[in-house]
Amino acid sequence: MFTRPFIDSLDFARRGGELSGEVPVAELSRMSDILADSEGKISYLLRGLAGSDGKPQLELMLDGVCNLRCQRCLNALSYPIKLVSKLRLVTEGDADSSDIEDDEVDNIPAEKRLDVLALIEEELMLSLPIAPKHGSGECEMAVEGLSRSNNPFAVLAGLKK
């Protein structure tokens, strides 16, 4: 069984903490609607660091493969995950600051008990395509026994039987 890791995000970033492991895709429950199956694992590395402005940040690296559902044929689509996210930790006092506007670094609220699995799942969901599809000409028919070379009306007649 997978154990959910939690960290104190500010303390983790300030001391340069590092946390790594693998998450079974089956544990990513919020992604179940877009996944074709729950096979596979996602490797992660979470590091705490100070940004160029000296503010605490987290760097999250994800690597793996998940099987999304192709929006053309509804079959599994193997989608490689290779993601690096930089996340600036923002406290309530930083909310007024204008220097937190940076396109290269996303802002997240600093938390005493940050759920690392939820963070991984959120970053992964934000990186996935809205409508994943196989490349042109790579889709297979979702209904068994049908081929592309068949006349579409003959296919419909076959479905009627």
- Pseudo-torsion of CA 8, 49, 27, 125, nearest 10°? 120
- Higher-scoring residue by pLDDT: 79, 103: 79
| Backbone φ, ψ for residue 144 (5° rounding) | -65, 145
- The band of 149, judged by pLDDT with boundaries at 50, 70 and 90, is low
pLDDT at 138: 78
pTM of the predicted model, to two decimals?
A: 0.77
Of the listed ranges 74-78, 109-113, 144-148, the least confidently predicted one is 144-148
The answer to whether residue 150 scores a pLDDT higher than 60 is: no
The mean pLDDT value for 49-63 works out to 91
- The band of 105, judged by pLDDT with boundaries at 50, 70 and 90, is confident
Neighbour tally for 88: CB within 10 Å? 21
Taking only the tens place, the pLDDT of each residue in 59-84 is 999 999 999 988 888 888 899 999 99
Residue 114's H or E segment, with its range, is strand 114-115
- The band of 142, judged by pLDDT with boundaries at 50, 70 and 90, is very low
Residue 156's H or E segment, with its range, is helix 152-160
> Which residue matches tokens 């490689």?
80
